[in-house]
Amino acid sequence: MPSDLTALPTAPLLRVRDLRAAYGGKQVLHGVDLEVRAGEIVALMGHNGAGKTSTIRTILGALRARGGSIEVDGTTVTGEPVRRLVRHGVALVPSERFVFPDLSIRDNLLLGAANAPRSADHAVRLREVQEIFPLLAERAYQAAGQLSGGQQRMVSLGIALMAQPRLLLLDEPSLGLAPSIVESIFARLRDLADRERLGVLLLEQNVKQALQVADRAYVMRSGRIILEESAEKMRLRPDFWDLY
């Protein structure tokens, strides 16, 4: 279950203010405001085309911001390239199965460690990630491309965690996966948020599943945030589907 928000620090790890962006002449983000604190899982929900992926692409600098600001741990990073955000402790797990298919699971994970802090002990972190996802230890020397979609999603998440991020951007983790696998992945995310104070921005269409693990939720429609609410309060809504 989500952690007690009163125990979280007040200063946000990620602060987005009045964020605007466009593809060519078509504006896709219209003054987006959102925050994620350390140890907090925040769900960003909405239908396809609502602007969720455009939001994280703009945060990462893959889509140029046309206005507004992005701060990570108090540092303005608006327009910074992805490699600079990685140094600030930001990691992305994309919706597609991002693995190196010809490399072993173990080698995939070790590549993720290239973005870890210099003081990090890669061997220790590898054991920690393998404890989170035991399958990655059991099949350590199997080619990642031989795994199922759900297993490859675990590898993608493991690669990101090897960098010891402070902020994890997670795009549609439930896409195409069996409910039991999604439940397992979300449970592990909750544990990481609580144990490592990892901040998570979770982009998700599976509303019920996301609200079981999140602390707070934002709902997007047509490139705008139309609602911010605690996950607990949103779970009690009889009509949250109407928000879509």
pLDDT the model gives residue 228: 95
For 2-30, what is the mean pLDDT?
A: 82
Q: What percent of the chain has pLDDT over 90?
A: 56
Residue-wise pLDDT for 111-169, tens only, equals 998 888 777 788 999 998 998 889 999 999 999 999 988 888 889 989 999 999 999 99
The span from the CA of 67 to the CA of 166, in Å, is 25
Counting every residue written for the chain, the total comes to 244
210 burial via Cβ count (<10 Å: 0-12, 13-18, 19+): buried
Helices 149-162 and 179-196 sit at what angle, rounded to 10 degrees? 10
Kindly state the tokens that stand for 137: 């230890």
Instruction: Say whether pLDDT at 6 is over 50.
Output: no
* 16 closest CA partner among 75, 84, 68, 91: 68
98-103's contacts with Cβ under 8 Å and 24+ in sequence apart are: 98/156, 98/159, 99/144, 99/145, 99/147, 99/152, 99/155, 99/156, 99/159, 100/144, 101/143, 101/144, 101/145, 102/143, 102/144, 102/145, 103/143, 103/144
Q: What is the tens place of the pLDDT at every residue in 197-232?
A: 999 999 987 888 889 999 999 999 999 999 999 999
Mean pLDDT of 14-36: 96
Domains of the chain: 11-89+167-176+196-244 (3.40.50.300), 95-165 (no CATH)
